[in-house]
A = this chain, B = another copy of it.
Amino acid sequence: MLRAELDAIDIKILRELQRDGRITNVELAERVGISAPPCLRRVRKLEEAGVIEGYHALLNGPRLGFDLVAFCMVGLKRQSDSDLKAFAAKVQQWPLVREAWMVNGDSDFLLRCVAENLTAFQDFVIEVLTADEHVDTVRTMLTIRQVKQLGLVEV
């Protein structure tokens, strides 16, 4: 199922489900202008096709005691396939790292990190990240505040 196969109603469905992932099917059907059963069939099809990957609650970090968001640009000592894979595997196990990308340019990885405070983040950078056998360089960017939050996919 590619984008070209989606019609105007599918696009509306995706827009609404991004906005509110817990909307009821009947309300969704109303909003997109069809009756409930075909609407549900479309949603299931989008899920099965992998266009919709899942539904998730979005939590407020600060209110849960995670006051710090930072990005780390990590360069490895070697960029062989096995080194990249080994580091990517380690990233999975570090709870501070919420998202990670392999990137081109000066660094090899970009990590989005969340921590309770600056001390916890620095401990992670010094004791875990720079201490890692694969890691060569680490540059960090502390965020001051998030200025755009829910960049929904503009389908």
A residues apposed to B, CB below 8 Å:
1-3, 14, 17-22, 49-61, 63-66, 69, 71, 73, 88, 91-92, 95, 97-105, 107, 109-112, 114, 140-155
Tell me the bound Cα distance from A23 to B59 in angstroms. Answer: 16
Tell me the bound Cα distance from A154 to B65 in angstroms. Answer: 11
Tell me the bound Cα distance from A2 to B67 in angstroms. Answer: 13
Is the beta-carbon distance between B64 and A147 smaller than 8 angstroms? no
Most chain B Cβ neighbours within 10 Å, of A3, A53, A150: A53
Most chain B Cβ neighbours within 10 Å, of A63, A100, A102, A104: A63
Given contacts A3-B65, A63-B3, A103-B141, A52 and B58 within 8 Å (CB-CB)? yes
Question: Chain B contacts of A111 at CB under 8 A?
Answer: 148
Specify which of B59, B91, B144, B149 is in contact with A148 (CB 8 Å cutoff).
B91
Tell me the bound Cα distance from A98 to B149 in angstroms. Answer: 7
Is the beta-carbon distance between B71 and A103 smaller than 8 angstroms? yes
Is the beta-carbon distance between B148 and A105 smaller than 8 angstroms? no
Is the beta-carbon distance between B143 and A101 smaller than 8 angstroms? yes
